[in-house]
Amino acid sequence: MEAVLKKCQHMQVKDLIKALQRCKRIDMLYSLRRLEQRGKLEKPLEHFPGINSVSTSLASPIAVSKTADSDSVKTILLVHYEGDDRETKDFRWLRKNLIQHASQRGYRISDIADLDIDVNLTSTVEEAFAKAHQIVVSFSPSHIEAVKTRSSACRSVLYMHDLMSQEFFTLNSTNRRFRPVIFNDTQPSDLPVGWPRSTLVYHFPTNMGALCTKIFKSNDQDYSSRMITS
């Protein structure tokens, strides 16, 4: 981000912000916020119109929360992308356990891979995002690489990441709904820059109990004793 600012040093900050918004570069807007927090900017970002809106067609975080809470059956959305059989096996093991606990607690599990995005990817992903009470993001190495390179192989996953980054950014770097999960082949330092690096990361299966306690908001059960084997 600092390199970008050097190249745009003669450009007014408000124009740079508008350009980043038009390109939907939420990652760079987030980096701009981080530079402000580190004291690298001469003027607080709040002085520039539009920085707190981060324009997209998505509703505000408050509207998203109301939409998620209005459904009588709360939904846990699974966001994932796998590139080989081993990664797929890990994710299916995670999903199997989440489905078991969700059914016991009266929650619904929704999988991003099951969304019908052929007609309208944007509205379909936005609706799933808005309805989700919690979003569990399964980070395989292929998933991480796809996000970093903006791979066209998983457009719905990339757009979901854009929406998550926007919500995190507009809530002043506060994470309310997103739960990153990693496996033995991944370290927290491998995760994409942004909210995944700024929140608690759950290792599966080690932290399955803590993950369930967080997403199902229940402290009266010991989830660790009911792990389903792969």
pLDDT in tens, 33-85: 666 666 666 655 544 444 444 434 333 443 444 455 556 789 999 999 999 99
Q: What is the pTM of this model?
A: 0.71
On whether both 14 and 93 belong to a single domain, the answer is no
On whether both 68 and 130 belong to a single domain, the answer is yes
On whether both 112 and 201 belong to a single domain, the answer is yes
CA angle 200, 122, 147 (to 5 degrees): 40
What CATH number is attached to the domain comprising 135? 3.40.50.10140
Flag the least confident range among 69-73, 107-111, 185-189, 209-213.
69-73
User: In terms of pLDDT, which residue wins out, 153 or 9?
Assistant: 153
On whether both 41 and 66 belong to a single domain, the answer is no
On whether both 149 and 222 belong to a single domain, the answer is yes
On whether both 152 and 40 belong to a single domain, the answer is no
CA angle 171, 115, 92 (to 5 degrees): 90
Bridge partners for 138 per DSSP:
80, 181
Residues of the domain holding 40: 2-47
Nearby residues of 76 by Cβ (< 8 Å), 6 or more positions away: 98, 102, 107, 108, 109, 110, 132, 133, 134, 135, 136, 215
On whether both 86 and 172 belong to a single domain, the answer is yes
Beta carbons of 140 and 83 less than 8 angstroms apart: yes
Bridge partners for 77 per DSSP:
110, 135
- Give the helix ranges, DSSP H, for the chain: 2-7, 13-22, 26-37, 61-70, 85-105, 121-131, 141-149, 155-170, 208-216
- Cα separation, 184 vs 119, in Å, equals 37
Domains in the chain, number: 2
Mean pLDDT of all residues belonging to the chain:
81
Confidence label for 170 from pLDDT (cuts 50, 70 and 90): confident
Peptide bond into 44 cis (omega under 30): no
CA angle 164, 18, 26 (to 5 degrees): 20
Query: pLDDT tens digits, residue range 119-143?
Result: 899 999 999 999 999 999 999 999 9
Mean predicted confidence (pLDDT) in 163-183? 94
The answer to whether position 54 is within a domain reads: no
On whether both 95 and 208 belong to a single domain, the answer is yes
The answer to whether position 205 is within a domain reads: yes
The answer to whether position 65 is within a domain reads: yes
On whether both 194 and 106 belong to a single domain, the answer is yes
On whether both 30 and 124 belong to a single domain, the answer is no
Nearby residues of 177 by Cβ (< 8 Å), 6 or more positions away: 68, 132, 133, 134, 135, 167
Region for 211 from its dihedrals, namely left if φ exceeds 0, alpha if ψ lies in -120 to 50, beta otherwise: alpha
On whether both 121 and 30 belong to a single domain, the answer is no
Phi, psi of 102 (to 5 degrees): -65, -45
The answer to whether position 56 is within a domain reads: no
According to the model, what pLDDT value does residue 64 have?
A: 47
On whether both 125 and 69 belong to a single domain, the answer is yes
